[in-house]
Structure 1
Amino acid sequence: MSGGLLLIIIAALLLFGPNKLPELGRAVGRTYREFKEATRDIAEDSPVAKPEAESVSTEAQSEKRDTRRLPE
């Protein structure tokens, strides 16, 4: 495991140079933090199902199916 990590670090140093790595690390950290916050917000939002709305949408879908025709 540590051998692979060492290889990745050496490849990153060769590709980006030692001056760019801290900037890249900060950018990756910010992106990861924003992603975690967004997923936390999505997980906290629990959708409230309304039985009336579901039955209306089911009826609308069945009407759409009835009006569709196959091409001749």
Structure 2
Amino acid sequence: MVGPGSLLLIAGVAVLIFGPKKLPELGKAAGNTLREFKNATKGLVDDDEDEKKKEGNK
């Protein structure tokens, strides 16, 4: 488990590496990536459910 001290250390290193101006852009990009991944996996699950329904109707 990651504790609060570890999170602060990681955040500090990120600020040192990327700089404070770049961090919001990186956060936004990460959020968009996660949202796209979530939508893509939701589509796969929906497709699997549709196939199961079709097989059940046979």
TM-score (ref. length: structure 2): 0.78
Query: What 5-or-longer segments of structure 1 have no aligned partner?
Result: 51-72
- Of structures 1 and 2, the one scoring higher in RCO (CA 8 A, sep 6+) is 2
Q: TM-score if structure 1 supplies the norm length?
A: 0.64
Q: Among all aligned residue pairs of Structure 1 and Structure 2, give the percentage whose two residues are the same amino acid.
A: 52
Two-structure CA RMSD over aligned residues (Å): 1.5
Q: How many pairs are equivalent?
A: 50
The ranges of structure 1 where at least 4 consecutive aligned residues each deviate by more than 2 angstroms after the TM superposition are: 47-50
- Structure with more helix by fraction: 2
Query: Which is greater in Rg?
Result: 1
Distance of 1:31 and 1:16 partners within structure 2:
19
Structure 2: stretches of 5+ with no match in the other structure? none
